[in-house]
Each structure stands twice: as structure tokens, then as C-alpha cells.
Amino acid sequence: MTDFPILTTITVLPALGALALLFFPKESEKGQKLFALLVTLVTFILSIPIYFNFDANTSAFQFVERYSWIEALGANYYVGIDGISLFMVLLTTFLSPLIILSSWTAIRKSVKGFLVSMLLLETGMLGVFISLDLLLFYVFWEAMLIPMYFIIGIWGGERRIYAAVKFFIYTMVGSLLMLVALIVMYLYVGRETGNYTFDYLVFREYLLPAGLQTWLFLAFGLSFAIKVPIFPFHTWLPDAHVEAPTAGSVVLAGVLLKMGTYGFLRFCLPLFPNASSQFAPLISILAVIGILYGAWVAMVQPDMKKLVAYSSVSHLGFVMLGIFTFTHQGLQGGLIQMVNHGLSTGALFLIVGMIYERRHTRLIADFGGLAKQLPIFTTFFMIVTLSSIGLPGLNGFIGEFLVLLGAFQTNQILTVFAASGVIFAAVYMLWMFRRVMFGPVTHEENKTLTDLNLREITVLVPIVIFIVWIGVWAQPFLGKMETSVDNLIRLVDAKKTAVLQMNDQHMWARGDK
């Protein structure tokens, strides 16, 4: 069983599903949806054993597969996961069926195209998280843009074209600079070691000189920073979120943004440790600005979806802050917060989508007093809201607490500011909740709204289960990532010192002359 190429299977399966969908007759929309749901469900079920077979005692990559891909360049099809990517993979496979289910009635225009895009997107996202070959990573990283571009541009709202093109071009600008950096690194390491390869592990072992690290970090970092997005590179996000269909927003918030933070964890930190610690203060400050700025802007949004979008900027600020503390708690907090944000914000977008489907508006002012009409909806909305603001006992608390704990060890003042972000989050979320749910019913249309149906409940229940689970007993999650996180911190430290010594030796040699 251990030799079974499980990672390839779950990655390729959605793409094969997409291919099969192309041959479905156009009219059979229901059949297409059921088939897509089945494919994503099977993918999820296949991915569950990965969790149980994952050995938490080693930081080495597991479920590794390696085949030759482009021999002339030394690029391989090389995949595997460790404690850092494990939950990203699971989050992706977990959310995908829910997303398909959530768009059951919302998508009316060319259903087949939508499902095909979604399935291809899942393949792309999984590919990003499992790639251990940098060229392969880059291919997935870029290729994934195409389906997302179509999802926003075809099934989005009124200004969808603007949002889609902006999304694509912003992300591409970052990616192309990363491509140049990737080529430079590939050739540099190849020249020095005589081994031209895109193997991640080779780069991870190799000590790049500090000067080169700075440039490479900037190029890789910019690409990831746009994706996260870190303030001030976030302007594409509200547009993309607001215009995207619900399913698109969920994928975007749930998984796509995590690719940015994942990129920092996987590439920037271990490959450019000196540059990372050099830029850590700057990035921490930007992260805190993002936390506060996102929260403040969210507070004044009249549109629920835009509010949630800006709250993403704020939440991801926490993740970035945690990662760049280089502490055990900070990194673990950042990682778990990535999962949390995927669940909570994903669920928030789903909820906003559900109410939009009923009322065709997302303006907070158009609602009020929904609690009486929609008891089930209210319950879910409440749980998710509380999770998003980090109430103890729900998942958000664990992540933010760990991040702040880590940050406190490195910079107290910043931590104070960051912590105030938690309060602001409570302000904008609860304020929105009050305005939408409580008070008198001011609009006639709201009196006839129907509560959630079975399908919608089915979508939300699994997410809520995990929201509570992580909040109450996070050990099954934290335990699996512990060794990898520790190893990453050790590696960063060791490489940092080694590179500094290397520089000293150079200087020594020069002084000797």
C-alpha cells in the first residue's frame, strides 16, 4: 500500500474527471454536477488515508514519487509531502466537493464549463502543494491561474472582466519575476555543484551567498506576497472576491491565498534564510499594517462580501506575522491559521453566497432581523462568525493565540498592535452580524425568505465540525506538523549561521592577502 502513488492519483483524478466531463451531453446538467461531485468526493476519500499513514515523527518528505520529466534540464516529476503541505492537500480535497455542492443552483450559465474549470483548478492546486521540483511547482502555480481566470471572468458579477484580468495580470507579474529568479538560482547552483537540477531538496541543502539570496528572496517574495496578499499588494483581492461567484471566492480564500504563505514557508525561508531574517522586520510590519488596515477597511464596507474579503487581508496578516517570527509557536500558529482561515472564511463566503442566492443583494443595509426568519442559517452564521473572530473553543483562537505568542517573543510592540486586530475583527464581524440578523425586519422581501435546505446544510456541517474540532482538540493537527516545523526552524538557523561563516571566511581570505 505504501508504494501506491497516492499523491499522483489524487492530483490527476480531478483532471481526468474534467476530461471525461467534456464528453457528457450538453443537456445533462444534473448528471454533470453529480459526476463532478463524485469525482471530488472520491478524491477526498482517497486522500483521507494520507493523514493516517503520515508519519509525524519524521520531517522527511513522504509518499514520494519521482520520475524523469525533462532530462535535458534536470527537471523531474518529483512529488511528496511533509507536515507543512499535508494539511494544505487535505484542505483542498476537503473543500472541493463542498464547493461543487454549494454551486449546485447558483451556476446557471454553461454548467459544464464551470465544472471542468473547477476540477482542473483542483488538480492545479494539489500540484502546487505536492511539487518538490521547482519547475514542476512553477508549472502548476501558473497553470492554475487559467481555470481561476475563467471562473471569475465567466461566472462572476458585473465587473467580472476587470476583476479577472486584474487578478491574472497581478499574479503573472509576480510569477514572471519568480521565473527569472528561478532560472538564476538553477544556473547558479548548477554551475557551482555541477548538478543542473530543479530538485527542491538540493536547493534546500545548498548555501546560497547572502547577496544573491537578497535578490532571489525579493523576486520569489514578491510573487508570494501578491498571492497572499500582503499589504500593499492586496488591491486585486477585493475585486476578485467580490466579482467571483461564490464557489470562486471560496476557492480563492480557502486555498489560493494559502499558496502565497505556503510559498514563503516552503521556499523563501529554507532557501534564502539570511534574506528572510533580514527582511523579517519589514514583512512583520507590513503584516501588522495588513491586519489593522484590513480590519479597518472591513469595518466600513456596506457589502458583506467585500467585508469578508478585507477580513481575509487581516487574517492573512496574522499568518505572515507568525511565519516571520521564526519561532516554533509562530510557525505552527501560522500553519494552523492557514487551515482555519480556509475553513472560516470559506464558510463565510458560502454563507454570503447562500443569502445572495435568495435576495440577490449583499448590501448589509438590505437586511436586518433575519434571525427570526432563518433560525438554521443564523446558527451556522453565528458559529462561523465567532470562529472568524477567534473565540476560544473554536479554531480561530488557536491559530491567532499561537501566532501572537510567537510574535511576543520577538517583538512586543508589534504584537500589541497585532493583538488589537483581534478586537477590531470582533467589531466588524459582530457589527455586521447584528445589522444583518437582529433588529426589526425593515424590508418586506426579507419576510418571505426560506431557511437553508438540506443541500446547503450538508455543505456547512462538515466545515463546522472541523471548526469546533480544531478549537477543542487541535493536537491531531498540530501533532502532525510539529516535526516538520521544528526541522524547518533548525534548518533556517543552521543555514543562516553557515552562510555568515562562509562570508566571514571570504572576508578573512581577502584580509589575508
Partner 1 sequence: MNTATALSTIDWVPVAPFIALSVLGFLIMLIGLYFPRIYRETLGTIALIGLAITFFLVLQNWGGPRYAFSNTIVGDKFSTVFNGLFVIGAALTILLSLNSQENRYVLYADYFTVIIFATAGMVLMSAGTHLLTIFLGLETLSIALYVLAGFRRENEFSLESAFKYFLLGAFASGFLLYGIAFVYGATGSAEIQAVTQWIQQNGLTGSWMLPVGFLLLFIGLGFKLAIFPFHMWAPDVYQGAPTPISAFMATGSKAAAFAALLRIAVGTQSYAALGWEQVLWIIAVASMTVGNIIALRQDNIKRMLAYSSIAHAGYILVGFIANNELGHSGMLFYLLSYTFMNIGAFGVISYLSTADHEFVTLQDMRGLAYRRPFAAIAMAVFMFSLAGIPPTAGFISKFYIFSAAVKAGYVWLVILGVINSMISLYYYLGVIVQMFMSATDEKAPVPAAQQPAVALALVVSIFAVLGLGIFPSRWLAVFMEMARSFI
Q: Which residues contribute to the site for partner 1 (CB under 8 A)? A: 68-73, 110, 113, 135, 138-140, 142-143, 145-146, 149-150, 153-154, 160-161, 164-165, 168-169, 172-173, 176-177, 179-180, 183-184, 186-187
Using the minimum distance from each CB to partner 1, give the nearer residue, 172 or 449: 172
Residue closer to partner 1 by CB (options 203, 326) is 203
Least distance in angstroms from the C-beta of 113 to partner 1:
8
| Sign, Cα dihedral of 178, 183, 186, 188 | negative
Fill in the DSSP letter of residue 85.
Answer: H
Three-state DSSP at 400 gives helix
- Minimum CB–partner distance for residue 312 and partner 1 (Å): 24
Q: At what angle do helices 83-102 and 328-359 cross, to 10 degrees?
A: 0
Contact 359, 446 (CB under 8 A): yes
Are the beta carbons of 34 and 46 closer than 8 angstroms? no
Nearer to partner 1, 151 or 355 (CB): 151
C-alpha 503 chain-centroid distance: 36
Q: Would you give the DSSP letter of residue 272?
A: S
Q: Which is nearer to partner 1, 73 or 416 (CB)?
A: 73
Report residue 155 as a C-alpha cell.
Answer: 461566472
Which of 19/60 has CB closer to partner 1? 19
Strand partners, 199: 133
CB 501 within 8 A of CB 282: no
CB closer to partner 1, 172 vs 382 = 172
Minimum CB separation of residue 404 from partner 1 in Å reads: 38
- Yes or no: say if 340 and 332 are a contact pair by the CB < 8 Å rule: no
Q: How far is the CB of 31 from partner 1 (least distance, A)?
A: 18
Do 95 and 122 form a contact (C-beta atoms < 8 A)? no
Compute the residue count for the chain: 513
CA distance 320 to 318: 5
**Residue that has been written with the C-alpha cell 512586543 in this structure:** 412
**In the complex, least distance from residue 197 CB atom to partner 1, rounded to whole angstroms:** 13
Distance between CA 45 and CA 126 in Å, rounded?
A: 15
Q: Measured from the CB atom, is 113 or 209 closer to partner 1?
A: 113
User: Minimum CB separation from partner 1 for residue 196, in Å?
Assistant: 10
Distance CA 143, CA 120 (A): 9
Q: Is 206 helix (H, G, I), strand (E, B) or coil?
A: coil
Please state the closest distance from residue 1 (CB atom) to partner 1, in A: 29
Cα 310 from Cα 320, distance rounded (Å): 16
Q: Which is nearer to partner 1, 7 or 323 (CB)?
A: 7
Characterise 202 by phi-psi region: left (phi > 0), alpha (psi -120 to 50), beta (else). alpha
Question: Least distance from C-beta 48 to partner 1, angstroms?
Answer: 28
Minimum CB–partner distance for residue 18 and partner 1 (Å): 12
283 phi and psi, to 5 degrees? -65, -35
CB of 177 to partner 1, least distance (A): 7
18 grid coordinates: 474534467
| Chain centre to alpha carbon of residue 225 | 12
Query: At closest approach, how far in Å is the CB of 334 from partner 1?
Result: 28
Burial 311-338 (b: 16+ CB within 10 A, else e): bbbbbbbbbbbbbbbbbbbbbbbbbbbb
| Grid cell listed for 63 | 509518499
What's the closest the beta carbon of residue 502 comes to partner 1, in angstroms?
23
> Toward partner 1, which CB reaches closer, 243 or 456?
243
Nearer to partner 1, 165 or 391 (CB): 165
Report the residue number, 159 or 434, with the smaller CB distance to partner 1: 159
Among residues 80 and 153, whose Cβ is nearest to partner 1?
A: 153
